[in-house]
Amino acid sequence: MADDAPDAPPDLPTPDDDPEPFAYDGGRVDPGETANVRYGVSETYLGDAVRVPVTIVNGERAGPTVFLSAAAHGDELNGIEVVREVAHEWDHSDLAGTLVCLPVLNVPAFLAQQRYLPIYDRDLNRSFPGDPDGTSARRIAHNIHRNFLVPCDLGIDFHTSTRGRTNTLHVRADMDHERVARVARAFASHVIIAGEGPGGTLRREATAAGVPTITVEMGEAHRFQRDLIDRALDGTRSVLAEFGLRQESAVAWPGWRTVVDGSEEKTWLRADAGGLVEMLHDRGSLVREGEPVCTITNPFKTEVETVTAPFTGLLVGVLENPLVHPGNPLCNLVRLGERTQRAIEREGERASGSG
Ligand SMILES: [Zn+2]
Condensed to tens digits (0 to 9), the pLDDT of residues 278-317 reads 999 999 999 999 999 999 999 999 999 999 999 999 999 9
Q: How far is the CA of 34 from the centre of ligand 1 (A)?
A: 28
Residues forming a β-bridge with 294: 279, 307
pLDDT score, position 245 = 97
**What is the predicted pLDDT for the residue at 1?**
41
Query: Is residue 168 predicted with pLDDT exceeding 80?
Result: yes
C-alpha 169 to ligand 1 mean position (Å)? 13
Give residue 31 CA to ligand 1 midpoint distance, Å.
Answer: 33
Asked which of 28-37, 257-266, 295-304 is least confident by mean pLDDT, the reply is 257-266
Above 70 in pLDDT, residue 355? no
Dihedral (CA of 182, 175, 122, 112) sign: negative
Which domains, from first to last, does the chain contain?
22-242 (3.40.630.10), 263-351 (2.40.50.100)
**Separation of CA 160 and ligand 1 centre (Å):** 5
Report the mean per-residue pLDDT for the chain: 92
Query: What is the CA(302)–ligand 1 centre distance, in A?
Result: 36
- The whole-angstrom separation of Cα 216 and Cα 239 is 12
Contact 65, 31 (CB under 8 A): no
3-state secondary structure (DSSP) of residue 351: helix
Residue 262: partners with Cβ closer than 8 Å, 6 or more residues away: none
220 CA distance to ligand 1 middle (Å): 10
Distance 75 CA to ligand 1 centre (A): 8
User: Cis before residue 129, ω within 30 degrees of 0?
Assistant: yes
146 vs 248, residue with greater confidence: 146
Distance (angstroms) between ligand 1 centre and the Cα of 222 equals 12
Per-residue pLDDT at 6: 46
**For the chain, how long is the longest CA-to-CA vector?**
72
8 Å CB contact between 314 and 286: yes
Neighbours of ion ligand 1 (CB under 5 A): 73, 76, 159
pTM of the model: 0.91
Helix (H) or strand (E) holding 143: helix 136-144
CA 58 vs CA 14, 62, 94, 97, 148: distances in Å: 14, 9, 11, 6, 13
In whole angstroms, give the CA distance from residue 320 to residue 71: 20
DSSP per-residue letters across 227-295? HHHHHHHHHHHHHHHHTTSSSS------S--EEE-SGGGEEEEE-SS-EEEEESS-TT-EE-TT-EEEE
Question: CA dist 152 to 34, 209, 257, 292, 297, Å?
Answer: 16, 10, 28, 46, 51
Q: 100 falls in which pLDDT band (50, 70, 90)? A: very high
For 36-92, the pLDDT digits (tens) are 999 999 999 999 999 999 999 999 999 999 999 999 999 999 999 999 999 999 999
Question: How many angstroms separate the CA atoms of 206 and 210, rounded?
Answer: 7
Higher pLDDT, 50 or 345: 50
Alpha-carbon distance values, 232 to 114, 129, 194 (Å): 23, 25, 19
Helix/strand/coil for 149 = helix
Distance 257 CA to ligand 1 centre (A): 23
**Rg, Å, the chain Cα set:** 21
- Whether the CB-CB separation of 31 and 64 falls below 8 Å is answered with no
How far is the C-alpha of 131 from the C-alpha of 122, rounded, in Å?
A: 14
| Residue 19 DSSP symbol | P
Strands in the chain per DSSP E: 22-24, 27-29, 34-43, 49-58, 61-70, 96-102, 154-159, 165-173, 191-194, 213-219, 258-260, 266-270, 275-279, 286-287, 292-297, 303-308, 313-319, 323-324, 329-335
